[in-house]
């Protein structure tokens, strides 16, 4: 019997060798924690479909941001849930609106120790739950929505966000936002484009997280899961419009897209491990069907391996804790 010529197992024989040859690893500095702040709350409110994730009060949001900075996270992505919604999402452009107040409070708390990002989108603010305003036929009106995004972006920049995350998938949104920021003297505020954002069933728990009123779906503006090539077009357009970073969302069911974009993008590539991805891991782990910590780490590593640098994940703070423990 001949011996095998090649023995890849040699480099797997113990943890020290495996660590030496590991190609990818997670680092806290590249993890971004999404966080929800809700107007009128007196106590943090647990989100049932996302065990361990809360709608925050202003105070608990500040504490969460301070903790994120202390753990060495890269950033925090803020979402606001207003008390009152209307057809045009006017709470989104109110400088005293919940999201803008949240941004300001977090900026005051952590300064430049943590990158403060905010969601530029109308769905949390509209009574119908769509990411834009509706025309008389009930369709999302792209260009009227752009005007509102421009105003929203300036408000968020003025409140103190370092990076804006337009997530509404309106055509031309990056150009309009960049132009508005520059005109307002906010040349230093960066734009992280949700370039390839797919219409996904895995957003389910997020709808609970922001008490979404959405009727119908977002298929006229978010991308179709059937398409791969189109993601490259979205990225090219966003780059031409001035995006500083690009994102793929969701992450786990779209790792091919992450990989494609990582190969062509001259700017940093991020991916968003969304609410439904979190919920799946939590539900399976709670049933004892998978090992929670190992599954979380593997899921995030797969996103890194596909080529994303920054990862938005509801696990960010916890994973940073694990990574910090590992260093000791």
**Binding-site ranges for ligand PBG (CB under 6 A):** 119, 121, 123, 131, 167, 203, 206, 218, 274-275
Work out how close the CB of 326 gets to ligand PBG at its nearest, in angstroms, rounded to a whole number: 26
Are 221 and 132 in contact, with CB atoms under 8 Å apart? yes
Work out how close the CB of 279 gets to ligand PBG at its nearest, in angstroms, rounded to a whole number: 9
Work out how close the CB of 232 gets to ligand PBG at its nearest, in angstroms, rounded to a whole number: 21
Catalytic residue among 249, 293, 327, 328: 249
Rounded to whole angstroms, how far apart are CA atoms 179 and 108?
Answer: 26
Q: What are all long-range contacts of 301-306, with beta carbons under 8 Å and residues at least 24 apart?
A: 301/24, 301/25, 301/26, 302/252, 302/255, 303/251, 303/252, 303/255, 303/258, 303/271, 303/273, 304/24, 304/25, 304/26, 304/30, 305/23, 305/24, 306/255, 306/256, 306/258, 306/259, 306/262, 306/271
Catalytic residue among 197, 293, 327, 328: 197
Name which of 131 and 319 has its Cβ closer to ligand PBG: 131
Residue 327 bears catalytic tag: no
Task: At 248, give phi and psi (nearest 5°).
Answer: -115, 140
Name which of 162 and 197 has its Cβ closer to ligand PBG: 197
Residue nearest to ligand PBG (CB): 206
Closest alpha carbon to 101 in 110, 91, 111: 91
Work out how close the CB of 144 gets to ligand PBG at its nearest, in angstroms, rounded to a whole number: 18
Angle CA(276)–CA(40)–CA(211) in degrees, nearest 5? 25
Task: Return the bridge partners of 311, or none.
Answer: 31, 271
Work out how close the CB of 20 gets to ligand PBG at its nearest, in angstroms, rounded to a whole number: 35
Q: How far is CA 280 from CA 9, 40, 52, 207, in A?
A: 32, 30, 13, 15
Name which of 101 and 218 has its Cβ closer to ligand PBG: 218
Name which of 28 and 275 has its Cβ closer to ligand PBG: 275
Residue positions annotated with a catalytic role: 197, 249
């Amino acid at each position: 019997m001949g011996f095998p010529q090649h023995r890849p197992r040699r480099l797997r024989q113990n943890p020290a060798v495996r660590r030496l040859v590991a190609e990818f690893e997670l680092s806290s500095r590249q993890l971004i924690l999404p966080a929800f702040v809700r107007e009128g709350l007196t106590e943090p409110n647990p989100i049932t479909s996302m065990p361990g994730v809360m709608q925050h009060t202003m105070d608990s949001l500040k504490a969460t941001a301070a903790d994120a900075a202390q753990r060495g996270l890269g950033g925090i992505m803020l979402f606001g849930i207003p008390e009152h919604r209307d057809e045009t999402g006017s709470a989104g452009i109110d400088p005293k609106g919940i999201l803008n107040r949240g941004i300001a409070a977090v900026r005051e708390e952590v300064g430049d120790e943590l990158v403060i990002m905010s969601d530029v989108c109308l769905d949390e603010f509209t009574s119908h739950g769509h990411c834009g305003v509706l025309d008389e036929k009930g369709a999302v009106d792209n260009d009227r929505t752009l005007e509102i995004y421009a105003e929203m972006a300036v408000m968020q920049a003025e409140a103190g966000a370092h990076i804006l995350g337009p997530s509404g998938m309106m055509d031309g949104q990056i150009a309009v936002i960049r132009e508005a920021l520059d005109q307002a003297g906010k040349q230093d505020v960066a734009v992280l484009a949700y370039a390839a954002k797919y219409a996904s069933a895995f957003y389910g728990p997020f709808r609970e997280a922001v008490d979404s009123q959405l009727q119908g779906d977002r298929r006229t503006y978010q991308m179709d899961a059937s398409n791969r090539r189109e993601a490259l077009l979205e990225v090219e357009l966003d780059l031409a419009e001035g995006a500083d970073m690009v994102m793929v969302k969701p992450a786990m069911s779209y790792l091919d897209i992450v990989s494609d974009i990582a190969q062509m993008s001259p700017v940093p590539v991020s991916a968003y491990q969304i609410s439904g991805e979190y919920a799946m891991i939590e539900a399976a782990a709670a049933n004892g069907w998978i090992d929670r910590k190992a599954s979380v780490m593997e899921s995030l590593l797969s996103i890194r391996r596909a080529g994303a640098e920054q990862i938005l994940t509801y696990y960010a703070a916890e994973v940073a804790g694990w990574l910090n423990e590992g260093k000791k």
